[in-house]
Structure 1
Amino acid sequence: MLTEALIRQGNVWKTLASCDGRRHFWGWLNSVFNKVDHERIQAVGPDRAASEWLLRCGAFVRYHGLDKWQQDYNGLPTGPLGKYKIQAIDATESCIMYKGFDYLDGLEHVEEIKFSKCMYIQDDCLQRLSETPSLQKSLLRLWIISCGNVTDKGVIALHKLSNLEYLFLSDLPGIKEKETTAQILRKSMPALELELDLD
């Protein structure tokens, strides 16, 4: 009886330790990290709440007037609410996902965003980004690198970022119509400097 219970328990641990088990656990945990807390946004303002979300998910932020990237969640600057405005986001290898993109609403000073090796960034994320009114006005530079779930559809959606000056696309296997997609962007955003490294 005891032996049977131990065997069953061992099988549970083997399941949890398997690749699929780990993937499921981390996917669940990352989903928890991306859950939007609207009360928190109201309490501390969009920049502070977004900073907490981004750092919780492994991204970095840089504030206006500061050269240093903020990497430590526990070291977030304190002071009057609204003092620190996010100027740049580096989401390299972070677990940010669509579910958390409501945190971007109300960020009025973000000039650059880098998505690099972000496994959860997909077309819906880029669509959501491009439909955020504050980012339509402020975002100037965007990098999308090695994000395997991004396709032509997501990149084309970026045309709504009317003030975007620079867009760098690299290592995106989901881009199948490189020339057509580039042509659509250049036609709808004539001032855009588009750099492609998609071979």
Structure 2
Amino acid sequence: MNLLPKAAQLILAAPKTAPPQNCRQFWGWLNAVFNKVDYERIKAVGPDRAAAEWLLRCGAKVRYQGFDRWQHDYNALPTGPLGRYKIQAIDAAESCIMFRGFDHLDGLEHLQEIKFNKNIYIEDVCLERLSKIENLQSSLRRMEVVSCGNVTDRGILALHHFANLEHLFLSDLPGLKQKDRTVETLQTALPKLEIELDLD
């Protein structure tokens, strides 16, 4: 016996179609709102707290220095003295972070690891912007760029600014058209970097 109303049965039985264009536009607009930088908020609570609020609001996770647990619940962000919690790692998998929010990363001094995985808004300009943040040029140690279809060779080459980068994992990046040349160039610029590839 089917307990669903007839109207619900018809909806479930209907062929699946792509979401309408105006629906995609709405989500793009909403994601842009989530990425808006509030510079007054950064001044008030410090760069690490403001960045954590931005990242969690957009669906990413953070791990603080001295902690093993990932923070993913915006409403459970730790409180305490300003500056006590320093972001050490960011897992931005399937989040909606985009270029316009990257100013949140400017003041992070302890960030060692970033994971981009299935991020539709991550593109070359994001990686180029990231590579120009002086604090990160020396602090970043590990990075993953996986299934980010808008990243090309240009974006990966920008990573040569991270002088202390130790491990880079690249996978499922259809935008890389000259992968061998790009990897070789990056490896020459950063001879201590271990590059792990899964690009076939």
Using the alignment, how far apart are the partners of 1:96 and 1:190 within structure 2?
Answer: 30
Q: CA deviation at 1:154?
A: 0.3
Residue 30 (structure 1) aligns with: 31
**Partner amino acid, structure 1, of 2:48:** D
Q: CA deviation at 1:18?
A: 4.5
Residue 95 (structure 2) aligns with: 94
Which aligned pairs between 1:1-199 and structure 2 lie closer than 5 A? 18-199=19-200
**Partner amino acid, structure 2, of 1:133:** E
Using the alignment, how far apart are the partners of 2:170 and 2:21 within structure 1?
Answer: 30
**Partner amino acid, structure 1, of 2:22:** G
Greater helix share, structure number: 1
* TM superposition score normalised by structure 1: 0.91
Q: What secondary structure, in the 3-state scheme, does the structure 1 residue paired with 2:168 have?
A: strand
Q: Encode CA deviations 1:21-75: one digit per residue, 9 max, x unaligned.
A: 1110000000000000000000000000000000000000000111110010000
What's the RMSD between the two structures over aligned residues? 0.9
Gaps of 5+ in 2: 1-17
Runs of 4+ in structure 1 deviating by more than 6 angstroms, as ranges, are: none
Using the alignment, how far apart are the partners of 1:103 and 1:55 within structure 2?
Answer: 12
Q: CA deviation at 1:19?
A: 2.3
Gaps of 5+ in 1: 1-16
Q: What secondary structure, in the 3-state scheme, does the structure 1 residue paired with 2:182 have?
A: helix
* TM superposition score normalised by structure 2: 0.90
Using the alignment, how far apart are the partners of 2:23 and 2:138 within structure 1?
Answer: 40
Using the alignment, how far apart are the partners of 2:148 and 2:20 within structure 1?
Answer: 21
What is the number of equivalent residue pairs in this alignment?
183
Residue 6 (structure 2) aligns with: none
